[in-house]
Amino acid sequence: MSSLRYVGSLPFLGFLLACAPAVQSQGREAVVVERLYFGRNVGDTVVVTDSAWAAFVTDVVTPHFPAGLTTWSAIGQWRGADGRIQREPSFVLELVHPVRAPTTEPAIATIIAEYKRRFRQEAVLRVVTPAHVAPE
C-alpha cells in the first residue's frame, strides 16, 4: 500500500522539479561564487600573520574586486606533494561575480599566483559554484 502512495506522488514531484529552474531564477541574476582557501604555514611555522593577510587583501585582492568580498579564518588540512597530511590555520576568501565577467579569470589567477609567491605556498584551493543572487 505504501508503494502506491509514492507512485501517486511521482507526477506531483515531476511537476515541482520541472518548475524549479523557473522559480529559482525568476528575478535573480546568475553569478559564480568563488571560494579560495589560503594556508598560513610554511613548514611548521605560521608565516602569514593577520596583518600580512590584511595587507594582501588590501593590496592584491581589493583592486581586482572592489565591489566586495568576504574573508574568514579557518582550520584546514590537505595532503602535500610529499604525501603527508598537513594541518594548518587558513584564510578563506569568498567572491561573488557575474558568470561571464572577462576580467575575473585573470584576476583570480593573479591573486593565487601572488599569494603563492609572496608567502611561499605550494597551493591555493579554488572552489567554483554556480549560484543566483537577488537584491532582497
What are the structural domain ranges in the chain? 29-133
Could you report the per-residue pLDDT of 32-86, keeping only the tens digit for each?
999 999 999 887 777 899 999 999 999 999 999 999 999 999 999 888 788 989 7
pLDDT for residue 18? 43
pLDDT digits (tens, 9 = 90+) for 13-27: 343 334 444 445 567
Closest C-alpha among 117, 37, 127, 129 to residue 75: 37
CB 28 within 8 A of CB 130: no
Residue given cell 611555522 in the structure block: 45
Q: Which of 128, 99, 119, 1 has its CA nearest to residue 51?
A: 119
By DSSP bridging, strand 85-98 and strand 70-79 are antiparallel
Closest CA to 96 of 118, 115, 121, 68: 68
Are 36 and 79 a contacting pair, CB within 8 Å? no
CATH class of 29-133: alpha beta
DSSP structure string for 99-134: TT-TTHHHHHHHHHHHHHHHHT-S--EEEEEEEEE-
